[in-house]
Amino acid sequence: MPTDNFIRVAAASPITNVADIKFNLKNIVNCIDNAIEQGSKLVVFPELCITSYTCADLFWQQLLLNEAIDGVEHICSYSKEKDILIAVGAPLIHNNCLYNCAYIIFNGKVLGIVPKSYIPNYTEFYEKRWFTEGIGIVNKKVNLFFQEEIPFGTNLIFACGDFKFGFEICEDLWVTIPPSSYLSLMGANIIGNLSASNEIVSKADYRKDLVKAQSARCMASYIYASSGVFESTTDLVFSGDLLISENGSLLQHNNRFQRENEVITSIVDVNKLNSERLRNVSFRDSTRLIPVEPLQINFEFENLDYKNFDRYIDKHPFVPSNKAERDIRCKEIFNIQTSGLAKRISHTGVKKAVVGISGGLDSTLALLVMIKTFRMLNIQSENIITVTMPGFGTTDRTYNNAVNLCKKLGTEFREINIVPACLQHFKDISHDVEKHDVTYENVQARERTQILMDIANKEGGLLIGTGDLSELALGWCTYNGDHMSMYGVNCSIPKTLVRYLVKYVAETEVPKDISDILMDILDTPVSPELLPKDKNGEIAQKTEDIVGPYELHDFFLYNFIRQGAEPNKILFLAKEAFKDDYDNEIIEKWFEKFIKRFFTQQFKRSAIPDGPKVGTVSLSPRGDFRMPSDASYNLWK
């Protein structure tokens, strides 16, 4: 397991009694033990949890304040040899001012103290009655009775290798520029928020969105822990809201209003976060806005064992698992594709478009995009010239689906059999027609493209490309054959998503007779049909038997390009995600195939036609991805 990439973090909300420090400590310790038992290396507690948040004017009582520091010392002593970073809330007197602070504790020592930068004093909050704002406090030192020269300030970064922690407190998240924004620019990739946020109607949803948005903006993990239902209910109710987010995604959350000690944990992928920051130039440029130099406090975990790997790994990272969300995504993608094609058609002034239809998924999607675009531009569907070009491997099933779909959609349909032209070409280049090699296949692909290009010229139209992102990644296209077009509408859509886009149309946008054709196309094996049919007239050449399952390749592609992950990590994640679907040896075999084909086929991607970027991964040489066509893949073997 690549433990250097992952760390388990925890958010805790202990049972508390207002101003009952001994009682509170017992429950805080209970939560620490729980977090350790689950393999966590960080646990974030609520704001002022040692005293409780709702002590009000009791915060002026010297006994309470002294006992609170005794409580911090107790947690320090308890933390010895525990190998977990603890962020716990308590007040601090410094220079005759009272601060609301996060005490960061590790292995018997307070590593640093972070004051709350912004003190709310509006609506139901009046913290300025007791506390002083910590904004502007940097590079200070404080002495406690059990430890001296403790770093005190808002610029503290707690670092263990690539794991860098920063902390803020409640209101800090709600301001225009949260301290965590600066902490992330200082290097913190894991942010803890010690909070006491009361509940009013709809506030929880807003708070969740705020946590997710800040984790996305900071490209960080954000751990949020709020006070629970045992705070004073004189005027307010608290719910013990616990949230763990990572770069905009919510990894874990609890059911609020619990009446027991509660700890939630999740595994965070810090390597993924660092990769996001590395590729984001705007993040790098923003580091110039850091108001002060960070003070980095180094410490070292004994180990990074996160115990069982329970982080959710999406097998299909390009495809939302929730149907409602997936339908929204499909609609958005169609809008992007049709808008891109509409702009190209209106710019060129053409009124016609040409597409080759095979009865397969990709050409079907391209045709559906063209139909939708022409309707949007108020151009008749008869101006779409659909051409089916049966060859040596064309089956009755794909042929009939192609013919029926084109006719029912109202396009101008043409059929051109390429067998005679290919036989002539074999003769011209002295190729044995019985030799079913790459030349045999590519002759057919290039013949089809030549026909389509020439029809487009003759009719004054655009040839629309049908190839998808997965095929481009693997180089599964014939150079200057189906590789080429005048505009490629599917160029950044992976094969796993193509399938759902066609299904979306079948289920929501067309009458039943067309839907039935689309559903049969979805059930047809993926094939270029360039080799002769089998003895039963069925498809003999199945793409996934040759290059491997597209769901694996799309998974490899996402993690390789989007995350910049190393091979051992990609394989680890793939084996976790697909453990119920493929043996480890199969996954390793196809990953090796993916890497080899991805590197050796770059020359095709260096010369692809224009087409719209749809998702987070694109291989266009003019946009997202620039790679030498002759780069070696030895490092990634």
Q: Taken in order 285, 288, 291, 292, is the CA torsion positive or negative?
A: positive
- Secondary structure of 420-467 in HEC code, one letter for each residue: HHHHHHHHHCCCCCCCCCHHHHHHHHHHHHHHHHHHHHHHCEEEEECC
Q: Taken in order 289, 292, 293, 297, is the CA torsion positive or negative?
A: negative
Could you tell me how far CA 379 lies from the centroid of its own chain?
A: 38
Whether 170 is a known active-site residue: answer: yes
590 in a labelled binding site:
no
Place of tokens 């108020």: 378
Residue 379: phi and psi, rounded to 5, are -110, 135
Could you tell me how far CA 53 lies from the centroid of its own chain?
A: 36
466 in a labelled binding site:
yes
Distance CA 411, CA 565 (A): 45
Give residue 462's identity as a one-letter amino acid code: L
CB of 89 within 8 A of CB of 100?
yes
Among 275, 285, 280, 282, which Cα is nearest to 246's? 275
Catalytic residue among 47, 133, 262, 551: 47
Q: Is 98 exposed, middle or buried (0-12, 13-18, 19+ CB in 10 A)?
A: middle
- Rounded to 10°, the helix 361-376/396-408 angle is 0
Distance CA 484, CA 608 (A): 7
Q: Taken in order 519, 525, 530, 533, is the CA torsion positive or negative?
A: negative
Whether 47 is a known active-site residue: answer: yes
| E strand segments, 317-356 | 352-356
Residue 437: phi and psi, rounded to 5, are -105, -165
512 in a labelled binding site:
no
- Rounded to 10°, the helix 550-557/584-600 angle is 60
Place of tokens 């301290």: 179
496 in a labelled binding site:
no
Catalytic residue among 49, 170, 406, 422: 170
What the block records as the tokens of 604 is: 């095709």
477 in a labelled binding site:
yes
Whether 76 is a known active-site residue: answer: no
End-to-end CA distance of the chain: 18
Place of tokens 């038997």: 545
Distance CA 59, CA 101 (A): 13
634 in a labelled binding site:
no
Look at strands 249-253 and 262-269 and give their pairing: unpaired
Cβ partners under 8 Å of residue 187, min gap 6: 157, 159, 164, 294, 296
The CA-atom distances, in angstroms, between 244 and each of 5, 188, 248, 253, 440 are: 17, 16, 10, 6, 55
What the block records as the tokens of 213 is: 């948005």
Distance CA 28, CA 72 (A): 11
Distance CA 139, CA 152 (A): 6
362 in a labelled binding site:
yes
7 in a labelled binding site:
no
430 in a labelled binding site:
no
Catalytic residue among 67, 76, 101, 116: 116
363 in a labelled binding site:
yes
545 in a labelled binding site:
no
Q: Taken in order 67, 73, 79, 80, is the CA torsion positive or negative?
A: negative
604 in a labelled binding site:
yes
Could you tell me how far CA 57 lies from the centroid of its own chain?
A: 46
103 in a labelled binding site:
no
CB of 359 within 8 A of CB of 523?
no
358 in a labelled binding site:
yes
CB of 398 within 8 A of CB of 520?
no
286 in a labelled binding site:
no
Distance CA 111, CA 187 (A): 17
Binding positions for ATP are 356-363, 466
Binding positions for L-glutamine are 122, 197, 203
Residues marked active site are found at 47, 116, 170
Binding positions are 122, 197, 203, 356-363, 442, 466, 471, 476-479, 604
Binding positions for deamido-NAD(+) are 442, 471, 476-479, 604
